[in-house]
Amino acid sequence: MEDKKRLFSAIQPSGILTLGNYLGALRNFRLLQEDYDGIFSVADLHTLTVRQEPADLRKNTYELTALYIACGIDPERSVLFLQSHVAAHAELTWILNTICYPGELSRMTQFKEKSRAHEDNINVGLMDYPVLMASDILLYQADLVPVGADQKQHLELARDLAVRFNNRFGETFTVPEAYIGKTAARIMSLADPSKKMSKSDANFNGFISIDDDKDAVIRKFKRAVTDSGSEIVSREDKPGISNLLNIYCAVTGKTLSEAEKEFQGKGYGDFKLKVGEAVAEVIDPIRQEKNRLLQNKDYLDDVLKTGAERAERIAYKTLNKVYKKVGLLQRKR
């Protein structure tokens, strides 16, 4: 067990998760925890960088915890915990802030985008977000971090900070690598296949939420934008059909050519219905299991308690080392 590489990942409890989040991240965690020493976190502190309704944040935190478990994260095998339950995340952030430069943070693409989207709330935390993320990763001496394209730049900063600290104070942090899984199909909007599927899509028909029931899923696929012509093939001039084929393959495990063959000579209507059904078949049991788990908050609180205790042991080992290295006195115990 000890020679397994350590993998760290976190998701923000900021509301709706889409089919894209599921296929791109959550779905893989179940298998990754078999091969790696997995640490999975609900990044609740990160969500505070944009304004949250406290009651919604509480609800979303339980939702995401339950969803992790419903997707197959086994809380006995892996560590599953809330970021805010382990104070070391905030503490290491302070130390790393002292070796990080404002220019490194102000040029982050996500910071610039979020500053534009939340012009009335460009707070220090929004800028410091990547340093908190670096702390998440470095506290656990993670070897691997599965990240989507939008988080690559942040992981790069975590690596830079690890190297910078190690150079200045001596070997302390493992320098994490990005884990690039089996090329997760890029899931595009059902309403506009030139855009990534996103929960912030103003058009609700553009994305599938994990919370959509079977009827909603099928309805959205029926409305999905297709292309001119009638052939069901994956081709550059057919972004709508290509996206649907990608989704179909991702949920069924079929190859593209198998799928193309299956739908040869079929109409768009039949095809869209089949894709909708296949997606619902995958999502429905997860939603139901998540909702079942949500009935039992006591169980979820217990899982998070155990998770925090296990995470804390690892995190404070690292933090104590860091404090010592920079010259902070050890407190007498």
- Residues lying near ligand TRP in the complex (CB under 6 A) are found at 8-12, 43, 46, 133, 136-137, 145, 147, 151
Query: Per the residue annotation, which of 59, 182, 196, 220 is the catalytic one?
Result: 196
Catalytic-residue membership of 182: no
Instruction: List phi, psi (to 5°) of 77.
Output: -80, -45
- Respond yes or no: is residue 196 known to be catalytic: yes
Amino acid at 158: A
Q: At its nearest, how many Å lie between ligand TRP and the CB of residue 329?
A: 30
Residue closer to ligand TRP by CB (options 44, 260) is 44
Told to judge if 297 belongs to the known catalytic residues of this protein, a careful annotator would answer no
Q: Which is nearer to ligand TRP, 45 or 224 (CB)?
A: 45
**Minimum gap (Å) between residue 281 Cβ and ligand TRP:** 27
Question: In the complex, what is the shortest distance from the CB of residue 154 to ligand TRP, in angstroms, rounded to a whole number?
Answer: 6
Q: 6: phi > 0 → left, psi -120 to 50 → alpha, else beta; which? A: beta
Nearer Cβ to ligand TRP, position 132 or 279?
A: 132
User: In terms of C-beta density within 10 A (0-12 exposed, 13-18 middle, 19 or more buried), how is residue 178 classed?
Assistant: middle
CB 133 within 8 A of CB 171: no
Cβ-proximal residues to 93 (8 Å cutoff; 6+ apart), any chain? 128, 131, 132, 135
Question: In the 8-state DSSP scheme, what is residue 15?
Answer: S
Catalytic option among 59, 199, 222, 321: 199
CB of 117 to ligand TRP, least distance (A): 14
Pairing type for strands 144-146 and 37-42 reads: unpaired
- Residues that are catalytic: 114, 196, 199
